[in-house]
């Protein structure tokens, strides 16, 4: 597994790519305990991840073309695939995602899978809200989630203001 650390407008992120070039993890350094803040800054195996994420923040990218292989249960992976289908600038409720994965009664389990998402931004768990539209948890913190949602809605532009 190759890792790299890079700066984004929302703070430092760490990416992990497997030997086949699949993205395994993408996390804000301050947002998850499992990231390695000592990861190297320059790792050519992570160059595609860094490029696409920085293009996203520059407003030049609304979808990602990275090969993904997050580790998780079959159910978690189903939820993460459903999250990846939420278009840029749109939002869904946990109930919507539960319906999408064919488990309408599993709203809480969808919430748990959403919270366990190991690939921030690319698998857009930030686009999932409470049924009433309320802002719910985000591993990197609710201010970052609010900023991402506003950014995708055209309400925020760089430079950053949290």
Q: Among this protein's residues, is 46 annotated catalytic?
A: no
Region class of 111: left (phi > 0), else alpha (psi between -120 and 50), else beta: alpha
pLDDT at 39 > cutoff 90: no
pLDDT (average), residues 31-58: 81
> Of these residues, 46, 50, 125, 128, which one is catalytic?
125
- Start-to-end C-alpha separation, the chain: 33
pLDDT in tens, 69-101: 999 999 999 999 999 999 999 999 999 999 999
Pick the CATH number of 74-152 from 3.20.20.100, 3.30.450.20, 1.10.10.10, 3.90.209.20: 1.10.10.10
The CATH code that applies to domain 2-57 is 3.30.160
Q: What does the domain layout of the chain look like in residue ranges?
A: 2-57, 74-152
Q: Is residue 5 reached through a cis peptide bond, with omega within 30 degrees of 0 on the bond before it?
A: no
Q: What is the CA radius of gyration of the chain?
A: 15
Q: Beta strands of 20-98 (E only): which ranges?
A: 23-28, 92-93
Model confidence, pTM:
0.90
């Amino acid at each position: 597994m190759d890792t790299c650390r890079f700066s984004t407008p929302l703070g430092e992120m760490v990416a992990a790519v497997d030997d086949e070039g699949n993205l395994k993890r993408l996390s804000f350094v301050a947002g998850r305990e499992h990231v390695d803040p000592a990861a190297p800054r320059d790792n050519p195996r992570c160059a595609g991840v860094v490029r696409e994420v920085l293009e996203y923040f520059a407003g030049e990218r609304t979808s990602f073309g990275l090969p993904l292989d997050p580790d998780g249960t079959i159910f978690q992976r189903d939820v993460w695939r459903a999250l990846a289908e939420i278009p840029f600038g749109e939002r869904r409720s946990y109930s919507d995602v539960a319906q999408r994965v064919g488990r309408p009664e599993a709203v809480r389990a969808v919430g748990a899978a959403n919270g366990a998402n190991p690939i921030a931004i690319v698998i857009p768990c930030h686009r999932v809200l409470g049924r009433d539209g309320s802002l719910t948890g985000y591993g990197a913190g609710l201010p970052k989630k609010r900023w991402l949602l506003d950014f995708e809605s055209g309400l925020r532009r760089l430079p950053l203001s949290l």
